[in-house]
């Protein structure tokens, strides 16, 4: 399973995805069994037990770990696909302003919710989706000249969009009353704490649906790494692939931000690590990134809720603290080879 | 559905009075030429004369403002990307690959128009890729990441990828720009062999000697229009080249190959040439 394999075979695909799936299950079990309160897994699943351990496990830990897996997988897939589309390993939902757009959309609905008859838990996902899509559309328009995507302009447009939505969020926050401000900050900081299996299920539905749609573009994404012209000359309908990938990945980012706020670095680092381990073929990279992203975020969130005994650290802090140095290490190690 | 099943008498390219530009001004004006199945057409002309644009137009990347381009009588505009990809392969000037795909993976990209969205390559796809690697002399590189190859090696891999498409028509945009003289000759020898197997070759060339040596039909472009076209001996002449390239170009006959040799004159020779002391003009054509 070294980085260099001459090409992707069905056998290699099954081996890698199978091993990662097993690892993910192990990670879920381990993460669910760790926490500030010690629980006994066997006690928890014993129907004759007192039910305290079972309640902690099934009401708090399992849904939270599963949500982390779904969010991590979604962000990682979006990152892998955006990197391929822009032919740039620096592309990522946060850098491209998609997460910022989603956050602004969500904040706007939190602010407006008090003036509307609808509850915010229904409105916030809609706002996040709309924000993610709108941000992606704006960046896309700015980053394409005469129908051709200009990767560097695109990245810079994303950076600008991110700064702009950041300012807008602060502006909304300044207009909001103290109660709302608290709600907005709490939401923005992000947390994967949930006891709702409905939320977990709908998150998985988004990730699986989006993952399948994007996975089906895998061969086209491979061809697109040669550039748009060469991809078209290899028979790829570039405009349609580009549209599908941008829309679906923005929606996946919107879903992730809606349930968990801003969690950075997952979409940047996970596809990188996965590519280094298993090669750049998107047929393997997209599903493998999903599994690695799930493992990574579940682990990071477990650290976030156990690292300090008095209070929880936001999971985004953990991903950034682990991710930043690791990214720098990869950059240094790979030198000019992959980051020209 | 593979290209071999569709017969071998394919590969005619008709370019009829094509005009096209990227923005307001036309880059290519009223260009017409044709390549018969198994023909070897060279497009020459100075920088900015529209050579690369013609290649892109034939591969259907853009639609002409006016005029038509037909592959075997079918208008390119009416074909899907996939249908074009099964008939026409393009070797670009340069390949820039940000991800460390292996050479074999890159060549397997050539199977894209023949395969579905996620499908794994079958044994036949691998055979086609391997034979493409063999013919381009890149089989030994198969397991290497393309990001580690030299410019010349990458160019041969790009040709291998195009061969893996099993095209009836092979378009090349200055394929030898980054090749040393040996590899350039090897590449054109291979193109000639492909031509003999019935593949139609349309290539832009900077190297006029290679054009004279290998092409059957030369299209000389000047500022987007066809200045002259025909057999190499009719197009590659002192008058034509000197007029279009705006520098003195000496043309002579190579007695070994029986083809034309093209030699630009440097400033000093041009000065000598113009001085009354020089006896006979070396700038005559043969």
Q: Which two tokens stand for residue A309?
A: 């005994």
Strand partners, B31: B18
Tell which wins on pLDDT, A34 or B168.
B168
pLDDT 10s digits, B198-239: 999 999 999 999 999 999 999 999 999 999 999 999 999 999
Residue B267 contacts A where some CB pair is shorter than 8 Å: no
Task: Verify whether the Cβ–Cβ distance B85 to A234 is below 8 Å.
Answer: yes
Name the pLDDT band for A331 (thresholds 50, 70, 90): low
pLDDT 10s digits, A243-283: 999 999 999 999 999 888 888 889 988 998 899 899 999 99
Residue B213 contacts A where some CB pair is shorter than 8 Å: no
Counted across chains A and B, CB pairs separated by less than 8 A come out at: 119
Determine the distance in angstroms separating the CA of A64 from the nearest CA of chain B, rounded to an integer: 32
Q: Which residue has the tokens 């040996």?
A: B182
Name the pLDDT band for A42 (thresholds 50, 70, 90): confident
Determine the distance in angstroms separating the CA of B140 from the nearest CA of chain A, rounded to an integer: 12
Residue B118 contacts A where some CB pair is shorter than 8 Å: yes
Residue A5 in domain: no
Q: How many residues does chain B have?
A: 286
Whether A290 contacts A273, CB under 8 Å: no
pLDDT 10s digits, B113-165: 998 767 889 999 999 999 999 999 999 999 999 989 988 899 999 999 999 99
Does residue B5 surpass a pLDDT of 50? no
Mutation target for B interface from A7, A222, A239, A287: give the one with most B CBs within 10 A: A7
| Residue of chain B whose alpha carbon sits nearest to that of A90 | B98
Integer distance in angstroms from the first to the last C-alpha of chain A? 25
Contacts of A167 (CB under 8 A, 6+ apart): none
Which range of A100-114, A172-186, B99-113, B246-260 scores highest in mean pLDDT? It is B99-113
Total structural domains within chain A: 1
Q: Which CATH number does B3-236 carry?
A: 3.40.50.300
* Closest Cβ–Cβ partner in A235, A280, A340 for B85: A235
Residue A3 in domain: no
Phi, psi of B91 (to 5 degrees): -105, 110
Angle between the A120-143 and A238-260 helix axes, to the nearest 10 degrees? 140
User: What average pLDDT does range A46-59 have in this prediction?
Assistant: 76
Residue B57 contacts A where some CB pair is shorter than 8 Å: no
Cα separations in angstroms, A148 against A145, A220, B38, B201? 5, 17, 33, 28
Burial of A33 (0-12, 13-18, 19+ CB in 10 A): middle
Does residue A339 surpass a pLDDT of 60? no
Q: Which residue has the tokens 């005469």?
A: A146
d(CA A244, CA A249): 8
Whether B4 contacts B168, CB under 8 Å: no
Name the pLDDT band for A125 (thresholds 50, 70, 90): confident
pLDDT 10s digits, B16-50: 999 999 988 999 999 999 999 999 999 999 999 99
Integer distance in angstroms from the first to the last C-alpha of chain B? 50
Name the pLDDT band for A41 (thresholds 50, 70, 90): confident
User: What average pLDDT does range B251-269 have in this prediction?
Assistant: 85
Name the pLDDT band for B6 (thresholds 50, 70, 90): very low
d(CA A124, CA A126): 5
| Residue of chain A whose alpha carbon sits nearest to that of B22 | A146
Least confident stretch, A139-143, A306-310, B77-81, B190-194: A306-310
Residue B82 contacts A where some CB pair is shorter than 8 Å: yes
pLDDT 10s digits, A159-207: 899 899 999 999 988 888 888 888 888 788 778 888 788 889 999 999 9
User: What average pLDDT does range A101-111 have in this prediction?
Assistant: 90
Task: Verify whether the Cβ–Cβ distance B95 to A230 is below 8 Å.
Answer: yes
Name the pLDDT band for B250 (thresholds 50, 70, 90): confident
Share of chain A above pLDDT 70, in %: 94
Domain ranges of chain B: 3-236, 237-286
* Closest Cβ–Cβ partner in A5, A223, A238 for B109: A223
* Closest Cβ–Cβ partner in B82, B92, B97 for A235: B82
Q: Which two tokens stand for residue A4?
A: 């260099």
Burial of B266 (0-12, 13-18, 19+ CB in 10 A): exposed
Least confident stretch, A49-53, B31-35, B65-69: A49-53
Does residue A119 surpass a pLDDT of 60? yes
Residue A338 in domain: no
Does residue A10 surpass a pLDDT of 60? yes
d(CA A118, CA B177): 65
* Closest Cβ–Cβ partner in A4, A218, A237 for B102: A4
Contacts of A266 (CB under 8 A, 6+ apart): A71, A72, A75, A76, A79, A293, A296, A297, A319, A323
Cα separations in angstroms, B153 against B84, B131, B140, B158, B201? 26, 17, 11, 9, 21
| Residue of chain B whose alpha carbon sits nearest to that of A215 | B118
Whether A165 contacts A158, CB under 8 Å: no
Residue A339 in domain: no
In sign, the C-alpha dihedral spanning B189, B193, B194, B199 is positive
Task: Verify whether the Cβ–Cβ distance B109 to A88 is below 8 Å.
Answer: no
Residue A4 in domain: no
Determine the distance in angstroms separating the CA of B227 from the nearest CA of chain A, rounded to an integer: 28
Task: Verify whether the Cβ–Cβ distance A281 to B105 is below 8 Å.
Answer: yes
| Residue of chain A whose alpha carbon sits nearest to that of B147 | A337
Residue A236 in domain: yes
Residue A245 in domain: yes
Q: Which domain holds residue A165?
A: 10-62+69-331
Phi, psi of A98 (to 5 degrees): -70, -45
Which chain B residues are Cβ-neighbours of A4 within 8 angstroms? 100, 102, 143-145
Residue A196 in domain: yes
Cα separations in angstroms, A140 against A75, A144, A244, A287? 19, 6, 13, 25
When the pLDDT of each residue in chain A is averaged and rounded to a whole number, the result is 87
Task: Verify whether the Cβ–Cβ distance B120 to A146 is below 8 Å.
Answer: no
pLDDT for residue A152: 81
ipTM of the complex in this document: 0.87
Mutation target for B interface from A235, A242, A279: give the one with most B CBs within 10 A: A235
Mutation target for A interface from B21, B81, B91: give the one with most A CBs within 10 A: B81
Whether B4 contacts B86, CB under 8 Å: no
Does residue B277 surpass a pLDDT of 70? no
Tell which wins on pLDDT, B211 or B286.
B211
The alpha carbon of B170 is separated from its chain's Cα centroid by a whole number of angstroms, namely 8
Residue B100 contacts A where some CB pair is shorter than 8 Å: yes
Name the pLDDT band for A236 (thresholds 50, 70, 90): very high
Whether A72 contacts A296, CB under 8 Å: yes
d(CA B276, CA A87): 60
Tally of CB atoms within 10 A around B21 = 16
d(CA B249, CA B211): 15
User: What average pLDDT does range A1-13 have in this prediction?
Assistant: 71
Which chain B residues are Cβ-neighbours of A3 within 8 angstroms? 100
CATH code of residue A92? 1.10.3470.10
* Closest Cβ–Cβ partner in B82, B117, B148 for A216: B117
Residue B66 contacts A where some CB pair is shorter than 8 Å: no
The alpha carbon of B138 is separated from its chain's Cα centroid by a whole number of angstroms, namely 20
3-state secondary structure of B25: coil
Whether A120 contacts A182, CB under 8 Å: no
pLDDT for residue B268: 83
Residues in chain A whose Cβ is within 8 Å of chain B: 3-10, 13, 84, 87-89, 146, 215-220, 222-223, 225-227, 229-230, 232-238, 275, 279-281, 283, 337-338, 340
Burial of B47 (0-12, 13-18, 19+ CB in 10 A): exposed
Mutation target for B interface from A233, A271, A276, A338: give the one with most B CBs within 10 A: A233
Task: Verify whether the Cβ–Cβ distance A6 to B112 is below 8 Å.
Answer: no
Least confident stretch, A200-214, A235-249, A269-283, B244-258: B244-258
| Residue of chain A whose alpha carbon sits nearest to that of B60 | A233
d(CA A166, CA A26): 38
Does residue B2 surpass a pLDDT of 70? no
């Amino acid at each position: 399973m070294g980085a260099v394999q001459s090409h992707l075979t069905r056998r290699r695909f099954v081996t890698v995805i199978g091993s990662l799936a097993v690892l993910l299950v192990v990670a879920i079990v381990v993460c669910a069994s760790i926490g500030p309160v010690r629980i006994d897994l066997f006690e928890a699943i014993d129907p004759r037990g007192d039910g305290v351990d079972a309640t902690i496990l099934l009401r708090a830990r399992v849904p939270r770990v599963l949500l982390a897996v779904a969010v991590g997988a979604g962000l990682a897939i979006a990152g892998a696909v955006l990197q391929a589309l822009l032919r740039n390993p620096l592309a990522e939902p946060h850098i491209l302003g998609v997460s910022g757009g989603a956050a602004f959309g969500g904040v706007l609905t939190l602010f407006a919710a008090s003036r509307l008859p609808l509850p915010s838990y229904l409105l916030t996902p809609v706002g996040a989706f709309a924000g993610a899509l709108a941000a992606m559309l704006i960046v896309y328009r700015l980053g394409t000249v005469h129908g051709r995507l200009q990767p560097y302009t695109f990245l810079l447009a994303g950076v600008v969009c991110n700064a702009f939505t950041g300012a807008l969020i602060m502006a909304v926050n300044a207009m909001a009353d103290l109660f709302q401000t608290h709600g907005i900050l709490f939401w923005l900081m992000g947390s994967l704490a949930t006891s709702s299996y409905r939320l977990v299920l709908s998150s998985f539905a988004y990730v699986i649906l989006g993952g399948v749609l994007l996975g089906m573009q895998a061969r086209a994404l491979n061809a697109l790494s040669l550039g748009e012209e060469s991809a078209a000359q290899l028979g790829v309908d570039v405009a349609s692939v580009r549209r599908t990938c941008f829309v679906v990945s923005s929606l996946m980012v919107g879903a992730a931000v809606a349930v968990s706020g801003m969690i950075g670095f997952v979409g940047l680092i996970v596809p990188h690590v996965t590519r280094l381990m298993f090669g750049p073929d998107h047929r393997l990279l997209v599903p493998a990134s999903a599994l690695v992203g799930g493992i990574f975020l579940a682990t990071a969130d477990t650290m976030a809720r156990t690292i300090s005994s008095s209070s929880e650290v936001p999971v985004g802090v953990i991903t950034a603290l682990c991710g930043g140095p690791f990214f720098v290490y990869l950059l240094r190690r790979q030198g000019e080879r992959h980051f020209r | 559905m593979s290209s071999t099943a569709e017969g071998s008498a394919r590969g005619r390219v008709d370019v009829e009075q094509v005009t096209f530009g990227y923005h307001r001004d036309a880059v290519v004006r009223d260009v017409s030429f044709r390549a018969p199945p198994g023909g070897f057409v060279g497009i020459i002309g100075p920088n900015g004369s529209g050579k690369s644009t013609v290649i892109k137009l034939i591969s259907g990347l853009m639609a002409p403002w006016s005029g038509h381009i037909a592959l075997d009588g079918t208008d390119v505009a009416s074909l899907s990307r996939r249908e074009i990809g099964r008939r026409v392969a393009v070797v670009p000037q340069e390949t820039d690959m940000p991800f460390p795909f292996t050479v074999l993976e890159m060549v397997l990209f050539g199977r894209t128009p023949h395969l579905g969205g996620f499908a794994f390559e079958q044994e036949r796809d691998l055979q086609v890729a391997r034979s493409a690697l063999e013919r381009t002399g890149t089989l030994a590189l198969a397991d290497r990441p393309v990001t580690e190859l030299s410019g010349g090696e990458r160019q041969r891999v790009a040709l291998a990828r195009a061969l893996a498409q099993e095209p009836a028509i092979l378009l090349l945009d200055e394929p030898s720009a980054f090749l040393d003289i040996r590899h350039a000759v090897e590449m054109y020898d291979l193109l000639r062999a492909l031509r003999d197997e019935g593949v139609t070759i349309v290539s832009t060339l900077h190297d006029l000697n290679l054009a004279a040596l290998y092409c059957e039909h030369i299209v000389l472009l000047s500022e987007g229009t066809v200045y002259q076209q025909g057999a190499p001996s009719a197009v590659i002449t002192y008058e034509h080249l000197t007029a279009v390239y705006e520098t003195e170009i000496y043309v002579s006959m190579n007695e070994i190959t029986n083809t034309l040799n093209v030699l630009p004159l440097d400033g000093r020779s041009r000065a000598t040439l113009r001085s009354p002391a020089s006896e006979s003009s070396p700038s005559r054509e043969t």
